[in-house]
């Protein structure tokens, strides 16, 4: 099928002054569509309020740790997608809200575990949970959130919980594959993109799918939104790889090259590894980046190396790949009807690849 709109239309930057997905209103252009935006914003407010109620346990410490990252905020990308695709059906029903909460709790749980495995110092502008408490407490907090997501989702029915369980399995397998690394003979870049599909894309795809199944929307839309969500998840993470290299932000306290310093795999580094085979300059930069990850370089040398990677062709190539994957996501929507919801999903994809935070 033919894609709708030109490349520039598909990837036009969001309006000046708008933050990335600061609510439903950023996804709708016309006044006639604002009633949908209002419904999405009300749904997000309800989800946020009820999530705090769900994270209540018998123990005060458990309450504090489990709510820690929820308190820290976040973009709520996944719940917003659930609410948005529900507009093809009955809209923001009780089951749609519950499904969005299951998705967000699952996502929050993975953050606790990821931060322990990555030895992260910060998350969402606050000190990582394991630094406030310890690794064991942070891991158990993630487990608590997984358990609460499961108990909350029971009321959605066996089909929904089967899909949540399948997705949870993919999240774990993706993390395991990332930890172990590519097999002998496996292309590291293909391996990385598959990890992103499992770790990020699968849950975003399920969020969009739940909006269909929980609202009674036509089931023939499921494959389209699954494909869209899977690809948007990959694009989202690739943009994160680039944002990680951005200069320091005094307001947020962001430190450029956090992933580099922790030795976390990113696409710019993988592309640099490929180029380093034939380029002594690229090989020298790659050696410096590896030394940074091992704590053997500090001060201005670290800043200089990260700046070189930021300005390198591999970083623009990463953004180009993010735009290509987002194009593929938009193409998946050829199978859904034209209208406000589809246009909002396209705008969603545009905002993903043009965001700066």
State the Cα–Cα distance between residues 249 and 235, nearest whole angstrom: 23
Question: Is 316 among the domain residues?
Answer: yes
| Lowest mean per-residue pLDDT among 156-165, 246-255, 285-294, 334-343 | 246-255
Residues 213 and 227 in one domain: no
Instruction: Give the residue numbers spanning the domain of 353.
Output: 220-357
> 19 in a domain, yes or no?
no
Q: How many domains does the structure of the chain reveal?
A: 2
Asked whether residue 169 falls in the same domain as residue 304, the answer is no
The reported pLDDT for the residue numbered 75 is: 77
Whether residues 91 and 51 fall in one domain: yes
Average pLDDT over residues 23-42: 74
| Statement to judge: residues 55 and 91 lie in one domain | yes
Same domain? For 32 and 104 the reply is yes
Answer yes or no: do 202 and 270 share one domain: no
Give the domain CATH number at 296. 1.10.600.10
Say if CB 341 and CB 84 are below 8 A apart. Answer: yes
312 CB neighbour count, 10 Å cutoff: 19
Residue 65: is its pLDDT beyond 80? no
Q: Considering the domain boundaries, does residue 32 fall inside one? A: yes
What are the pLDDT digits (tens) for 90-124? 999 999 999 999 999 999 888 888 777 877 777 77
pLDDT score recorded for residue 21? 53
pLDDT for residue 327: 96
The answer to whether residue 253 scores a pLDDT higher than 70 is no
Q: Give yes or no for residue 4 having a pLDDT over 50.
A: no
253 Rama sector, left if φ>0, alpha if ψ -120 to 50, beta otherwise: left
Under the banding of pLDDT at 50, 70 and 90, the label for residue 255 is: confident
Phi (first) and psi of residue 249, to 5 degrees: -115, 110
In a domain, 102, yes or no: yes
Same domain, 187 and 254: no
213 or 257, which is more confident: 213
Tell me: pLDDT of 270 over 80: yes
pLDDT tens for each residue of 319-350 = 999 999 999 999 999 999 999 999 999 999 99
pLDDT score, position 190: 96
Confidence band of 7 (pLDDT split at 50, 70, 90)? very low
268 & 350 share domain: yes
Answer whether residue 261 is part of any domain: yes
The reported pLDDT for the residue numbered 94 is: 95
Domain final residue, candidates 171, 202, 217: 217
Residues 170 and 77 occupy one common structural domain = yes
pLDDT at res. 254: 62
CA angle 39/45/46 to nearest 5° reads 90
| pLDDT value at 3 more than 50 | no
129 part of a folded domain: yes
More confident position, 216 or 54:
216
pLDDT digits (tens, 9 = 90+) for 121-180: 777 767 777 777 788 888 888 888 888 888 888 999 999 999 999 999 999 999 999 989
- Render pLDDT for 258-267 as a digit per residue (tens, 0 to 9): 889 888 889 9
**For residue 74, pLDDT beyond 60:** yes
Neighbours of 124 (CB within 10 A): 14
Looking at the structure, do residues 135 and 164 belong to the same domain, yes or no? yes
Report pLDDT for 25: 61
Residues 242 and 335 in one domain: yes
168 and 266 part of one domain: no
């Amino acid at each position: 099928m033919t894609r709708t709109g030109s490349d520039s239309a598909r990837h036009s930057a969001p309006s000046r002054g708008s933050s990335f997905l600061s609510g439903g209103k950023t996804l709708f252009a016309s006044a006639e569509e604002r009633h949908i935006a209002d419904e999405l914003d009300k749904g997000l407010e309800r989800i946020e309020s009820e999530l705090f109620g769900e994270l209540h346990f018998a123990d005060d410490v458990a309450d504090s740790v489990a709510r820690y990252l929820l308190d820290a905020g976040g973009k709520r990308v996944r719940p917003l997608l659930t609410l948005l695709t529900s507009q093809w059906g009955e809209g923001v029903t009780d089951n749609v809200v519950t499904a969005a909460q299951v998705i967000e709790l699952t996502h929050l749980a993975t953050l606790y575990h990821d931060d322990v495995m990555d030895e992260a110092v910060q998350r969402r502008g606050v000190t990582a949970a394991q630094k406030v408490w310890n690794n064991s407490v942070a891991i158990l907090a993630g487990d608590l959130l997984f358990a609460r997501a499961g108990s909350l989702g029971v009321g959605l029915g066996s089909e929904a919980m089967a899909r949540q369980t399948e997705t949870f399995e993919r999240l774990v397998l993706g993390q395991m594959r990332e930890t172990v690394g590519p097999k002998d003979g496996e292309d590291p870049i293909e391996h990385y993109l598959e990890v992103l599909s499992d770790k990020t894309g699968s849950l975003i795809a399920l969020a969009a799918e739940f909006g269909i199944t929980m609202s009674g929307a036509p089931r023939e839309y499921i494959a389209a939104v699954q494909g869209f969500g899977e690809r948007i998840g990959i694009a989202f993470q690739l943009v994160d790889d680039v944002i990680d290299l951005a200069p320091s932000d005094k307001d947020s306290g962001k430190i450029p090259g956090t992933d580099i310093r922790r030795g976390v795999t990113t696409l710019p580094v993988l592309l640099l590894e490929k180029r380093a085979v034939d380029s002594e300059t690229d090989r020298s930069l790659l050696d410096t980046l590896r030394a940074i990850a091992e704590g053997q370089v500090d001060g201005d040398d670290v800043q200089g190396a990260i700046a070189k990677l930021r300005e390198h062709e591999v970083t623009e190539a990463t953004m180009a790949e993010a735009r290509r994957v987002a194009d593929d996501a938009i193409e998946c929507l050829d199978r859904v009807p034209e209208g406000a919801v589809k246009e909002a999903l396209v705008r969603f994809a545009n905002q993903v690849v043009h965001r700066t935070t």
